[in-house]
Structure 1
Amino acid sequence: DSFRAPLTEAEIERRSPDALKPDEFRNLCQWGYPYVFDTFRFHMTLSGRVGPEESPRLRAAIDGLFADALRQPVPVDALTLFVESEPGAPFMVLSHHALGRGPARKTA
């Protein structure tokens, strides 16, 4: 973490610090993101902000698309680290790491 640049005031404000719980605010200040360790919850961003009038329609569409996949465990066989060169830039793959055992090596 010592390689991370300190958060700017704008980055802190972007996270709506007044709406964060004390642990989340502490995480934001210490780690640069409010939802780490015990406050982390796995999520995948599938859209931009959605207003209350659009939310039910979008939820129904997402449920329909992912219902079959969510009925079964999702195997995780690799971790990929992405970087964002600047705020708002596309994420690019920095490194990809396979998990588990590699194929058995035959020796003579």
Structure 2
Amino acid sequence: PVPALNRFAGDVVLAFDRFRAPLTEAEIERRSPDSLKPDEFRNLCQWGYPYVFETFRFHMTLSGRVASQESPRLRAAIDSLFTEVLLRPVLVDALTLFVETEPGAPFMVLSHHALGRRSARKTA
């Protein structure tokens, strides 16, 4: 857990929620609401995602669903790629806004925004 990152994530949810399309009943069901804890279900209904604010944990989705027999092989590949990288702090220096043009469509980059003071940013 990184408290500053968690606060930043919460601030982003609050600032951008007005741009979020309301969830459909199918989208709510896809999240298996009966398996969610009360706080997670409340977040799903209010914010469109169960894991925000107190229930947020930073994560990066690296693959689609993986069959259980493939999981150890994929885990080993991910560990070999990221173990050394994750020993150092990860710089969060930009916010990228993605859109899903229709349910199930690939996410597309709408805009990318550098964070921090302009004078402090370095570009190549």
| CA distance in 2 between partners of 1:79 and 1:99 (Å) | 7
1:27 equivalent in alignment to 2:19:
no
Q: Deviations over 1:26-82 (max 9, x none)?
A: 111111111111111111111111232221111111000112211111112111111
Change (3 A) 1:99 1:26: same
Structure 2 runs not aligned, ≥5 long: 1-16
TM-score by length of 2: 0.75
**Could you tell me which amino acid in structure 2 is paired with residue 16 of structure 1?**
S
List structure 1 runs of 4+ shifted beyond 4 angstroms.
none
**What 5-or-longer segments of structure 1 have no aligned partner?**
none
**Aligned residue type for 2:108:** M
TM-score, normalised relative to structure 1: 0.85
Match of 2:65 in 1: 49
1:1-108 pair list within 5 angstroms: 1-103=17-119
Question: SS where residue 57 of structure 2 aligns?
Answer: coil
SS at match of 1:96: strand
Q: Return the structure number with greater helix share.
A: 2
Q: What is the CA-CA distance between 1:3 and the residue it aligns to? A: 4.8
Q: Number of residues paired by the alignment?
A: 104
**Identical-residue share of aligned pairs (%):** 85
Distance 1:37 1:16 in 2: 20
Note closer, same or farther for the CA distance 1:63–1:90 as it changes in structure 2 (3 Å cut): same
C-alpha root-mean-square deviation of aligned residues, in Å?
1.6
Aligned residue identity for 2:114: A
